[in-house]
Chains A and B, each alone.
Chain A
Amino acid sequence: MKFDIIGKRYWFFLLSAILLIPGLISIAVQGFNLGIDFTGGTLLDLKFARPVSVTEVREALKEHQLENSTIQLAVSDQIEVSQNVFIRTPELSDNTRRVVLSDMEKKLGAFDTLRSEKVGAVIGSELTKNAVIAVVVSWLLMIVYISYRFELKFAVSGIIAIAHDIVLVLGVFSLFHKEIDASFVAAILTIAGYSINDTIVIFDRIRENLKTHKKTESFTELVNRSIWQTMTRSIYTVLTVVVATASLYFFGGETTKNFSLALLIGFISGAYSSVFNASPIWVTWKEFEERRRIALKTSGPK
Chain B
Amino acid sequence: MRWGNLTKFLAVVFVVLVASGYYMLPLATSIKQGLDLQGGTHVVLEAVDTPEAKVDEDAVQRVVKIIEKRVNEIGLTEPIIQRQGERRIIVELPGIKEPEKAIELLGKTALLEFQDESGTTVMTGKDLKDAKAEIGQNKNNVVALEFSEDGTKIFADLTTKNVGKHISILLDKKVLTNPVVNEPIPSGKAIITGSKTIEEAQNLAILLRSGSLPVKVDVMEMRTVGPTLGQDSKDKSKVAFAIGIGAITVFMLVFYRLSGFVATVALIIYVMLLLFGLKMLNATLTLPGIAGVILSIGMAVDANVLIFERFKEEYHAGKTLRAAMDAGFSRAFGTILDSHLTSLISAIVLFFLGAAPIKGFAITLGLGIVLSLFTAITITKLLLRMLMHANVFKNGKIFGA
A275 to chain B, nearest CB (A): 15
Residue pairs across A and B with Cβ atoms less than 8 A apart, 22 shown, are: A45-B229, A115-B224, A130-B355, A131-B354, A142-B346, A149-B338, A182-B357, A186-B361, A193-B343, A193-B347, A193-B365, A201-B335, A204-B335, A229-B313, A232-B309, A243-B248, A247-B241, A248-B244, A251-B240, A253-B235, A253-B237, A255-B229
- Is A117 touching B222 in the complex (CB atoms < 8 A)? yes
B82 within 8 A of A: no
Closest B residue to A248 using CB positions: B240
Interface string of A157-182 (1 = CB under 8 A from B): 00000000000000000000000001
A94-B349 CB under 8 A given contacts A122-B220, A186-B291: no
- Is B219 touching A186 in the complex (CB atoms < 8 A)? no
Using Cβ atoms and an 8 Å threshold, which residues of chain A touch B218?
A: 120
Closest B residue to A204 using CB positions: B335
Using Cβ atoms and an 8 Å threshold, which residues of chain B touch A197?
A: 299, 302, 339, 342-343
A183 to chain B, nearest CB (A): 5
- Is A255 touching B243 in the complex (CB atoms < 8 A)? no
- Is A186 touching B357 in the complex (CB atoms < 8 A)? yes
A116 to B227, CA, bound (A): 12
A145 to chain B, nearest CB (A): 6
Closest B residue to A132 using CB positions: B353
- Is A244 touching B346 in the complex (CB atoms < 8 A)? no
Partner pick for B244 among A122, A192, A244, CB 8 A cutoff: A244
Using Cβ atoms and an 8 Å threshold, which residues of chain A touch B349?
A: 134, 137-138, 141
Ranked 5 nearest A-B pairs via Cβ:
A186-B288, A244-B244, A253-B233, A138-B346, A138-B349
A245 within 8 A of B: yes
Partner pick for A244 among B107, B248, B334, CB 8 A cutoff: B248
B352 to chain A, nearest CB (A): 8
Using Cβ atoms and an 8 Å threshold, which residues of chain A touch B243?
A: 247, 251
The stretch that binds A, out of B52-60, B63-71, B98-106, B132-140, is: B98-106
B10 within 8 A of A: no
Partner pick for B309 among A192, A233, A255, CB 8 A cutoff: A233
A34 to chain B, nearest CB (A): 16
Question: Most chain-A CB neighbours within 10 Å: which of B36, B218, B341, B350?
Answer: B350
B399 to chain A, nearest CB (A): 15
Interface string of A110-143 (1 = CB under 8 A from B): 0011111111101100110011011001110110
A7 within 8 A of B: no
A201 to B334, CA, bound (A): 9
B305 within 8 A of A: yes
Give the B-binding residues of A (Cβ under 8 A): 45, 47, 94, 98, 112-120, 122-123, 126-127, 130-131, 133-134, 137-139, 141-142, 145-146, 149, 182-183, 185-187, 189-190, 192-194, 196-197, 200-201, 204-205, 208, 229-230, 232-233, 236-237, 239-241, 243-245, 247-248, 250-256, 259, 263
B388 within 8 A of A: no
A127-B355 CB under 8 A given contacts A233-B306, A237-B302, A251-B243: yes
Closest A residue to B252 using CB positions: A240
Using Cβ atoms and an 8 Å threshold, which residues of chain B touch A232?
A: 309
A43 to chain B, nearest CB (A): 9
Give the A-binding residues of B (Cβ under 8 A): 36, 44, 99-100, 103-104, 107, 218-226, 228-229, 232-237, 239-241, 243-245, 247-248, 251, 255, 287-288, 290-292, 294-295, 297-299, 301-302, 305-306, 309, 313, 331, 334-335, 338-339, 341-343, 345-347, 349-350, 353-355, 357-358, 361, 365
- Is A196 touching B236 in the complex (CB atoms < 8 A)? no
Question: Most chain-A CB neighbours within 10 Å: which of B251, B292, B309, B334?
Answer: B309
- Is B350 touching A255 in the complex (CB atoms < 8 A)? no
- Is B228 touching A114 in the complex (CB atoms < 8 A)? yes
A185 to B355, CA, bound (A): 11
Partner pick for A113 among B104, B226, B294, B335, CB 8 A cutoff: B226
- Is B221 touching A119 in the complex (CB atoms < 8 A)? yes
- Is B233 touching A254 in the complex (CB atoms < 8 A)? yes
- Is B251 touching A200 in the complex (CB atoms < 8 A)? no
- Is B343 touching A255 in the complex (CB atoms < 8 A)? no
Using Cβ atoms and an 8 Å threshold, which residues of chain B touch A244?
A: 244-245, 247-248, 294, 297-298
Using Cβ atoms and an 8 Å threshold, which residues of chain B touch A182?
A: 288, 355, 357-358
B257 to chain A, nearest CB (A): 14
A77 to B334, CA, bound (A): 49
Using Cβ atoms and an 8 Å threshold, which residues of chain A touch B244?
A: 243-245, 247-248
A251 to chain B, nearest CB (A): 4
B252 to chain A, nearest CB (A): 8
- Is A259 touching B107 in the complex (CB atoms < 8 A)? no
Closest A residue to B41 using CB positions: A116
A248-B294 CB under 8 A given contacts A142-B346, A237-B302: yes
Using Cβ atoms and an 8 Å threshold, which residues of chain B touch A127?
A: 355
- Is B342 touching A145 in the complex (CB atoms < 8 A)? yes
A256 to B293, CA, bound (A): 14
